[in-house]
Amino acid sequence: VAEGWLVARQGAGTTVAAAAVANEPARRAAPDADRVLFDLRPGVPDVAAFPRARWLAAARRALADAPASSLAYGDGQGRPELRHALARYLTRARGVRAGADAIVICTGVAQGLALLCEVLARRGAATLAVEGFGIQAHRELAASAGLGSRALPVDDDGAVVGELTREDAVLLTPAHQFPLGMPLAPGRRLEAAAWARREDTVIVEDDYDGEFRYDRQPVGAMQALAPEHVVYAGTASKTLAPGLRLGWLVLPEGLVAEVTEAKLRADGGSGAPDQLTLAELITSGGYDRQVRRARLAYRRRRDTLVAALRRRVPGVEVSGIAAGLHAVVRLPAGLTEDDAVARAAELGVAVQELGRYAGEGATHAPALVVGYATPPGHAFGEAVSRLCLALGARAS
């Protein structure tokens, strides 16, 4: 009333002042975030399924047993309990040749990559080769460290590593190309390892979702092919939650000290309580159980998504589905990526266009990258149904 928006008269109701109505600005479209009812963008696991009770129990056990010194400043490399637990786990589950001494704990693959690029640049590196499709932010991390990037084409066998020449390092997603979804073919792995040995360079193996493989035997890490030239980068971002910011690098011996120093400079080392908790979760078998449970749930979601798209949307092609938490959905003829994203948004569904991940010069047929981990279980069917409608399915 004091500001003139309302008129209050004694004995009558309070009403909106005429001037207030006349001056009301034209209604703007609601911001995107408000309209997202179903999030089918890739990159995030089902955080609602985070094993809170197991995590809390592990935290209680870990802190009860931890020496007081574990809560003092660390050495930057990470808690030995976690490095030992990871060394055993990665050897068993991913075929990595890892000793605890070779591991540096970091806040996700993102930081691991940043630290590594910094160290390589300090040593005089100038160029990082990357896959022609990938995460823009990773290329930007390299650029921040002063490294130029050069994109390798990607075909059905993964990155065309035969095109590597004089780059100082290459960033690959060998188990499950992000976002296209194929594994790096065995011949290409050997070729890349041979290049790294010949040129005395570094392969960065981003194993972001290696645990989630559905149709075939797990594709092991390529680090074992050339442990002295491959930096293996892993993360808890898909198996547990990205909000933990817990990741790890398994490094060739000659890089450990410099990367540890870079980590100390960056943030003084990752927090001890979460490292101790993850170590306890891994050692007690809780981590394996979580991965098994999540793998089953994601596999069901993937089957639901693929079956619905194939049944309801004529002309759609789904690929990259043998692993991971996302699928590449090639659009029916005549539908552009922008149209598909806009039509999905009208139905409250957020999806990502493949073009967002294409590096300079990379061409592709119009497609979406659909993440199937995020909508909570009860909403997943509806999310898929709306996606089908957006892509041209008839309402059923």
Ligand X SMILES: Cc1ncc(COP(=O)(O)O)c(C=O)c1O
Length of the chain: 396
What is the total count of residues that contact ligand X (CB under 6 A)? 13
- Restricted to residues 88-117, the positions that interact with ligand X (CB under 6 A) are 108-110
ω into 186 cis (within 30 of 0): no
Q: How many CB atoms lie within 10 A of CB 319?
A: 15
Site mask for ligand X (CB under 6 A), range 238-267, x = bound: ----x----x--------------------
Among residues 212 and 390, whose Cβ is nearest to ligand X? 212
- Restricted to residues 148-207, the positions that interact with ligand X (CB under 6 A) are 173, 178, 206
Q: In whole angstroms, how close is the CB of 111 to ligand X at the nearest point?
A: 7
Site mask for ligand X (CB under 6 A), range 112-141, x = bound: -----------------------x------
Amino acid at 325: L
Here the tokens at position 8 are: 């209050």
Q: In whole angstroms, how close is the CB of 305 to ligand X at the nearest point?
A: 18
Q: In whole angstroms, how close is the CB of 48 to ligand X at the nearest point?
A: 17
Q: In whole angstroms, how close is the CB of 76 to ligand X at the nearest point?
A: 18
Cα 364 to its chain centre, rounded Å, is: 21
SS3 66: coil
- Restricted to residues 200-229, the positions that interact with ligand X (CB under 6 A) are 206, 208
Among residues 77 and 237, whose Cβ is nearest to ligand X? 237
Asked if 169 contacts 201 with a C-beta cutoff of 8 angstroms, the reply is yes
Asked if 231 contacts 251 with a C-beta cutoff of 8 angstroms, the reply is yes
Among residues 148 and 242, whose Cβ is nearest to ligand X? 242
Among residues 313 and 328, whose Cβ is nearest to ligand X? 328
Among residues 178 and 232, whose Cβ is nearest to ligand X? 178
- Restricted to residues 33-52, the positions that interact with ligand X (CB under 6 A) are 43
Among residues 206 and 389, whose Cβ is nearest to ligand X? 206
DSSP string, 233-249: EEESTTTT-GGG--EEE
Location of structure tokens 């790096």: 184
Give Cα separations from 65 to 60, 277, 278, 280, 370 (angstroms). 9, 11, 14, 10, 43
The edge-to-edge listing of strands for the beta sheet with 127-131 is 103-106, 247-250, 230-235, 202-206, 169-172, 127-131, 148-152
Chain residues in the site for ligand X (CB under 6 A) = 43, 108-110, 135, 173, 178, 206, 208, 235, 237, 242, 247
